[in-house]
Structure 1
Amino acid sequence: MSYAYTRGSGSGAFPPRSSSLRNHSVEPPSLLVRLRDSLPPRVQLWIAELWTRAASSVSAAQRRTRQRGGYKQEAWRAVKRLFSIANALILLWLFMLWWGERTVFRDSVQNCVWDGWERWPQNAAPHHVAFVADPQLVDPHTYPGRPWPLSTLTVMYTDQYLRRAYSLIQTTLKPDSLFFLGDLFDGGREWATVKSSSPEKRYKRYGDKFWQKEYNRFGKIFFGHWNDGGSHSAVNPRGRKLVASLPGNHDLGFGNGIQEPVHNRYRAYFGSGNRVDVVGNHTFVSVDTVSLSAMDQPDPDTGSSGMGSGDGEDRPNARIWMDSENFLNGVKDKKARAEREELRALRNQSEGTIFRPGVYDLSENTIYQKDQSEAPGFPTILLTHVPLYRKPATPCGPLRERYPPSSSDPYPEEDEQNALKIQGGYQYQNVLTQTISNDLITKVGPEIAHIYSGDDHDYCEIAHREFSGSPKEITVKSLSWAMGVRRPGFLLTSLWNPIDIDTGKPIGTRSSPTLQNRLCLLPDQLSVFIQYAYLFVFTIVVLLVRSIARTFHPPETEPTLPLSEPRHHYPQSHHASSKSASSSTSSSTHSSPGASEARLASRGSSANLSSRQLSPQRHDTFRPARHAYIVDAADDDDGGRWKGKVVGQPFRRRQDGFQGTIRPVMDNFVRSVKYVAGVVGVWYIYLVWTW
């Protein structure tokens, strides 16, 4: 049975089964082709041009490779380019910059690892402390007359130095506690508040917003990198501790020069400069001595000096020094309370004093059970920004950088040059007065084991024999390389005071030392810059000599373009033709250099010349062209871009004079400098940007 389909197109008509509209004998276009066809015509044209250029470049490279002796010869030329003078200078710069931006910092901090200098028993677990003094962030107060961009570069490089050194302290040494010893800023006392302004006219335009900016800058460098080594402490389950509340004279001012709004602002952001901390079974007492010093200075309003004869508000400068003096009057109780709390924490006990529940009047006694435990009396460490008073000419020891001892065998008992100068000036004083120093030692307690101070920027170590126990004092170096010392530094202190946590008494004899110190020196940044300058001069000299040598003695190479001109000789019988040819040759011989270069640069002309050379009817002799030379890619820093091109004229003393001599030298020199500077600049930016 068969069925017939109508040819109509109605809804009831079904067409016979047939193939799709696509021609199955032709492969469908690929995805890339379809994507290309979907692009706008201009984009398609641009892609086609790029493809054509790339294909042409590959073909030209292959053709040059065949003409120059094959791939082995091309590989040899590549090796020669790799070992050129310019590349050797680049390699030297890479090592120099890595040394100056990485190695010197890491080696300096690595020399201070705890295991390398601690001398504790084998089973000891000391508490590690780092002291940082006088970072003094560079600001308009530091170098007020320094112009831009030198001022900006100074800020950038000093911040970079501080950040690198501080970060390495955290990652390499990872101290359990870190104390700043004041002068966090350089011009902090000058920046105005809502209620105050700088006494110096040139700084009045810097307000509170500028101080906020400087605070954020400080936090980015120091607070932001505090946990680079982690937040866990190996000896303290409560974690690592950072204390930056001790002010310096550049933060607040000194004595009666302190403005109360400036002082309040600093305390609001960093905390009180008077505090007690128990660290490693040692009691650290920090005292705001720049404010306390106002107690021994004349009042600018009344002219009276000392504490005066009255009480309270009648005392001169009381608004400045009263907080510090009140702290000292009760510091022994604060020490005892802090030590008892530390013992309870070690025993994992709760608060010792129990209070009665309920609501009571302020005058009522709310203590139900008082803590009867005794304070263990840990060794006390005093922290002050300004060093304590000492006799004039008291030597600071051999580690002082700017003024080393006048003799070393033996060290003198008095050394004016090596000592701290007993002097003062606007908003500073090199040492505390004898009155303030005695007040400190008397009230903090006779059990002072050590004193740490800052302010001077250089290292100083003395023993205060005038006090009981002859406590030692170390003035810590500045961490910044812009503070007058070539080798900045910081101080490491290892604390080891094992105690019985039940009684709080020390294990072993109390006479044995409980702390050890180590001065750590950082790189000499100025010396690093000087080494860069030496290498820069060396690079310039080498590239200049190289350019002169290549100009006077260009490298010999086999040309890829014909560098000769034909001279045609015809038989004497053809007089007219010979005359014409002779005239043509003469014209060619005396043509301008530009015309000769145009002929040499033309591939078509070289092809015609080759056909004339092979003609058996002409007797040709050749002589070299006088106005062109070829630069060999094997000795060219630009990767052979000039291979086979007429790039200039050889040295012609008589025709071009001095200008014709110096131009090719300078062209070659500038090209080489750009090549070396481009690679080295990228490497230097990478080193600076990434750390």
Structure 2
Amino acid sequence: MKEYRVLFYLLISWVIVFLINEKYVPYKTIRQCKWPNLNQNSKADATTQTNILLIADPQLIDNHTYPGRNSYLLSLSQHTVDQHLKRNYAQLTKLNPNSTIFLGDLLDNGRASTDEYFNKEVARFRSIFPQNRQMYTNLPGNHDIGFGDLIRTEVRDRFSETFGNPNLQTSIAGVEFILVDTTSLSSTKDQINQAALGFVNGLPKKSMPRILLSHVPLSRHPDTKCGPLREKPKFLALGRGYQYQNSLTKEISDFLLDKIEPDLIFSGDDHDYCDIVHDQGTREITIKSMSMAMGIYYPAVQLLSYVKSPEGLKYQTKICYMQTPYINVVVYIVMAVVSIVVILQQNLRLKTGNNSSWTVLPLSRSKREEKSKMGTGGWRKQMCLDVAKEMAFMGVVVILVYKYLIVI
């Protein structure tokens, strides 16, 4: 058994490293997220608190996300990002939110996908985020259906048939959540904007607290500060380009604020955090992307808790950070280098004559005797072959362990 010892120790080390990075770290990270306690002075009313999990821009990367990347690297990127989303979301569900609401950009290229490819990506999305009755995925983003005049109604209809009506008024524990398809509302074409426009105009008079949910943030002054929790220097309010616009026009924003009269607004699209108060006194929070592939160092979700109150909407909200991206990738690279060095070192010991009967993989007696008869050149060649075989063997075993024991 001595011949197997180092190989066994390496394999055990890999399993421990995998378990720490893929199981323990996400668990420990999400465990630090706590719902605010809004009933500290009243145990009797503790059950009235409602907890909402808000998720923005998972934007699953696909075959069109990185045009210059070869298929192997693209598959590796997809797997890495999907696993990051999946293992963190699995831990988030243990927070037991009353409802989970997505703020759009579920897919990266839903707006240009064929029906076949779209259905494949939807299945992938649902494997990462298993559906339940308390989940709202119906708010579209510009990557889902496009933006403004470039939206194709058949693409939007496909999204609606799959994920639900993009314009929705729903009551959750005494608070109205108003989800508005602001990507369509931003169009100047009647056939595109009429559904969202008619929905907003048809809303009944406000009778309870309201929270507005929009994929695109509302208009604000270009110099508006987003607060200390933002990573990037500033919010580029006037930025726009093909199939996107960083914020709604002032006219559309004022229209939504006047018609809906929200007590609170949540938006996405920007991928980074931004906490502002509009001139009308309404607070808007643009929440971070949950994805590690959206150009921010610390992906996160938003926790919202509220209770019924005669004074209106009594709430607290805070960021819940995900596992820091790429640290596990760096750890695996270091572990791979260590494994190579260990295997190489043991084979070099054979070359120098120390412990000459030992290799990582066991050798037959005839092979050992043959080694003793080899010259320096033959021994070096044999050592290279042994190292290559042992590395390949170790690599296959590690991949199988990861695929069948670690991946969720």
TM-score of the superposed pair, with normalisation by structure 1:
0.55
| Distance (whole Å) between structure 2 residues aligned to residue 646 and residue 436 of structure 1 | 84
Which of 427, 438, 446 pairs up with 2:254? Answer: 438
Q: How far has the Cα of 1:546 moved from its partner?
A: 2.7
1:392 maps to 2:222: yes
2:227–2:275 Cα contact (<8 Å) kept: yes
Superposed displacement of residue 256, structure 1: 0.9
C-alpha contact (below 8 Å) 2:216/2:269 kept by paired residues: yes
Please report how far the alpha carbon of residue 686 of structure 1 lies from its aligned counterpart in structure 2 after TM superposition.
Answer: 2.1
The answer as to whether partners of 1:487 and 1:524 remain within 8 angstroms in 2 is yes
Contact 1:386 1:453 in 2 (8 A): yes
Q: Deviations over 1:126-167 (max 9, x none)?
A: 111111111212223312232222223333333333333323
Matching residue of 2:10: 89
Does the aligned pair in 1 maintain the 2:6–2:360 contact within 8 Å? Answer: no
Structure 2: distance between partners of 1:384 and 1:427: 16
1:258-284 C-alpha deviation (Å, 9 max, x unpaired): 122222222233332222111122111
User: How many Å separate the matches in 2 of 1:642 and 1:392?
Assistant: 77
Specify which structure has the bigger relative contact order, considering alpha-carbon pairs within 8 angstroms and separated by 6 or more residues: 2
Counterpart residue identity of residue 372, structure 2: Q
**Partner in structure 1 of residue 37 of structure 2:** 118
Return closer, same or farther for 1:149/1:679 CA change in 2, 3 Å cut-off. closer
Partner of 2:317: 517
Residue of structure 2 equivalent to 1:455 = 269
The amino acid across from 1:243 in the alignment is Y
Q: Deviations over 1:647-682 (max 9, x none)?
A: 313785xxx5xx345224324423542453354333
Deviation at 1:381, TM superposition (A): 0.6
| Cα deviation digits, residues 461-486 of structure 1 (max 9, x gap) | 2222x11xx22211122222222223
- Residue 208 of structure 1 deviates from its aligned partner by 2.3
State yes or no: 1:105 paired with 2:55.
no
Residue 120 of structure 2 aligns to a residue whose secondary structure is helix
CA shift, 1:492, in A, is 1.2
CA distance in 1, matches of 2:57, 2:273: 12
In structure 2, how many angstroms separate the alpha carbons of the residues matched to 1:432 and 1:384?
10
SS of the aligned residue for 1:277 comes to: strand
1:175 aligns with 2:97: yes
Q: 1:287 aligns with which of 163, 180, 186?
A: 180
**How far apart, in 1, do the equivalents of 2:303 and 2:222 lie?**
28
Gaps of 5+ in 1: 1-77, 192-206, 228-239, 296-316, 336-376, 404-416, 499-505, 556-629
Deviation of 1:285 after TM superposition, in Å, equals 1.0
Provide the residue aligned with 2:303 in structure 1. Answer: 492
The reply on whether 1:646 has 2:369 as its aligned counterpart is yes
Please tell me whether the aligned partners of residues 167 and 226 of structure 1 are also in contact (alpha carbons under 8 angstroms).
no
How much does 1:181 deviate?
A: 0.6
Question: Is this contact kept in 2: 1:493–1:518, CA < 8 A?
Answer: yes
Which residue number corresponds to residue 243 of structure 1? 136
Show the counterpart of 2:65: 142
- 1:259 alignment partner in structure 2: 152
Amino acid at match of 1:681: I
SS in 2 for 1:451: strand
Q: Structure 1 residues 521 and 643 mapped into 2: Cα distance closer, same or farther (>3 Å)?
A: farther
Which string of whole-angstrom CA distances, capped at 9 and with x for unpartnered residues, describes residues 186-232 of structure 1?
111113xxxxxxxxxxxxxxx3222233333333332xx235xxxxx
Distance 1:644 1:423, change over 3 A: closer
Distance change in 2, residues 1:212/1:683 (3 Å): closer
Please point out which of 539, 546, 550 is paired with 2:350.
Answer: 550
The residue correspondences of 1:186-335 to structure 2 (distance < 5 A) are 186-191=108-113, 207-222=114-129, 225-227=130-132, 241-295=134-188, 317-333=189-205
Task: Determine the C-alpha separation between the residues in 1 that align with 2:287 and 2:404.
Answer: 33
Structure 2 residue runs without a partner (length 5+): none
Which amino acid counterpart does residue 398 of structure 2 have in structure 1?
V
Once residues 86 and 115 of structure 2 are traced to their aligned partners in structure 1, the CA distance between those partners, rounded to angstroms, is 24
* CA distance, structure 2, for counterparts of residue 218 and residue 674 of structure 1: 33
After superposition, the C-alpha distances for 1:320-376 in whole angstroms (9 at most, x for unaligned) are 11222222222234x5xxxxxxxxxxxxxxxxxxxxxxxxxxxxxxxxxxxxxxxxx
CA contact 1:386–1:431 (8 Å) conserved in 2: yes
Aligned to 2:282: 471
Q: Structure 1's 668 and 139: CA in aligned 2 closer, same or farther, altered over 3 A?
A: closer
Matches within 5 A, 1:393-412: 393-401=223-231, 403=232
- Structure 1 distance, partners of 2:219, 2:61, is 29
8 A Cα contact 1:132 1:179, kept in partner: yes
- What secondary structure does 1:331 align onto? coil
Number of residue equivalences = 404
Q: Distance in 2 between matches of 1:497 and 1:167?
A: 29
Equivalent position of 1:527 in the other structure: 327
Distance in 2 between residues matched to 1:259 and 1:540, nearest whole Å: 53
Q: How does 1:358-397 map to 2 (within 5 A)?
A: 377-397=207-227
Structure 1 residues 637, 429: CA separation in 2 closer, same or farther (over 3 Å shift)?
Answer: same
User: Using a 3 Å threshold, how does the CA distance of structure 1 residues 549 and 255 change in structure 2: closer, same or farther?
Assistant: same
The structure-2 alpha-carbon separation of the partners of 1:326 and 1:90, relative to structure 1 and needing over 3 Å to count, comes to same
8 Å CA contact 2:52, 2:303 repeated in 1: yes
> Looking at CA atoms only, which structure, 1 or 2, has the larger radius of gyration?
1
Change (3 A) 1:674 1:323: closer
SS of equivalent residue, structure 1 residue 481 = coil
> Partner of 1:166: helix, strand, or coil?
helix
TM-superposition CA deviations, 1:417-467 (whole Å, max 9, x none): 23344210011001111111111101112xx22110010112222222x11
CA distance in 2, matches of 1:676, 1:264: 50
In the TM superposition, what are the counterparts of 1:350-365 in structure 2 within 5 Å?
none
What's the offset of the Cα at 1:387?
0.5
Distance 1:187 1:678 in 2: 34
- Over 3 Å counting, the alpha-carbon distance change for 1:463 and 1:650 in structure 2 is farther
Correspondence for 1:358:
none
Whole-Å separation in 2 of the counterparts to 1:518 and 1:97: 30
Q: In the TM superposition, what is the alpha-carbon distance from 1:111 to its structure 2 partner?
A: 1.6
Per mean C-alpha deviation after superposition, the further-off stretch among 159-168 and 667-676 is 667-676
SS of the residue 2:208 aligns to: coil
Partner Cα distance (2:102, 2:390) in 1: 49
Over residues 4-54 of structure 1, what are the superposed CA-to-partner deviations in whole Å (9 max), with x where a residue is unaligned?
xxxxxxxxxxxxxxxxxxxxxxxxxxxxxxxxxxxxxxxxxxxxxxxxxxx
Q: Check whether the contact 1:87–1:676 (CA below 8 A) recurs between aligned residues.
A: no
